[in-house]
Copies of this chain bind each other. A is one copy, B any other.
């Protein structure tokens, strides 16, 4: 296979990270050994140390880059939206697409934050906090009756809803995306109401 020397440097690291994401998602960080990771990309064992300083560094790089992508995408979508409800719709659609296209990454980020080193965890938590902030502002703008703790709790709940995707594959991708968007938006728009009754409006 011919390699282009200058522009296309990256492939091996990302190939390793993709394989690692799948294995970490399936067995947990501590349930996967260096040899497992190596043989998943066709090399064996310690060869990985030509590309990463440690197993911890693989997880760190993986979760940091996910968090950066989510934050950047969320901010971009929020900035491009016109109305508060449009903002919410954009954020939901963005997160749904990401979760459907990267189920392993979503799973690893949900389950293995606690296996990061302290500096890595601090950085990832900071990025996640800023991503949640984007959502909290959007929720409060679209549903002014929700105070901030309530909006924050709602954001986490919707993440749980959307991130459940990797564990249920009963629909094809587009139908699943439509269902998740619909459920997420319904749940979010009801956060503003106080009690049992509905406050439904048209789209």
B residues in contact with A188, CB < 8 Å: 183
The reply to whether A167 and B176 contact each other, CB–CB distance below 8 Å, is no
* Residue A31 CB within 8 A of the other chain: yes
Q: How many residues of A contact B (CB 8 A)?
A: 51
The reply to whether B189 and A186 contact each other, CB–CB distance below 8 Å, is yes
Q: Nearest-CB distance from A26 to chain B (Å)?
A: 6
Q: Nearest-CB distance from A110 to chain B (Å)?
A: 8
B residues in contact with A28, CB < 8 Å: 28-31, 111-112, 114-115
Partner of A157, one of B30, B112, B154, B180: B180
* Residue A45 CB within 8 A of the other chain: no
* Residue A179 CB within 8 A of the other chain: yes
* Residue A153 CB within 8 A of the other chain: yes
B residues in contact with A195, CB < 8 Å: 178
Partner of A187, one of B156, B178, B186: B186
* Residue A2 CB within 8 A of the other chain: no
B residues in contact with A162, CB < 8 Å: 157, 160
Please encode chain A, from 175 to 195, with 1 for each CB lying within 8 Å of some chain B CB and 0 for all others. Answer: 110111011101111110101
B residues in contact with A203, CB < 8 Å: 196-198
Give the residue name and chain of the B residue nearest to A200 (CB). B200
Taking CB atoms and an 8 Å cut-off, the chain A residues in 22-52 that contact chain B are 26-31
The reply to whether B179 and A161 contact each other, CB–CB distance below 8 Å, is no
Complex A-B: 15 CB contacts under 8 Å: A28-B115, A30-B30, A149-B171, A152-B170, A156-B170, A157-B162, A157-B168, A158-B161, A160-B160, A160-B162, A183-B187, A183-B191, A186-B189, A197-B202, A198-B203
List 3 A-B pairs, minimum CB-CB distance, nearest first.
A160-B164, A30-B30, A156-B168
Interface residues of A (CB under 8 A from B): 26-31, 111-112, 114-115, 149-150, 152-154, 156-165, 167-168, 170-171, 175-176, 178-180, 182-184, 186-191, 193, 195-198, 200, 202-203
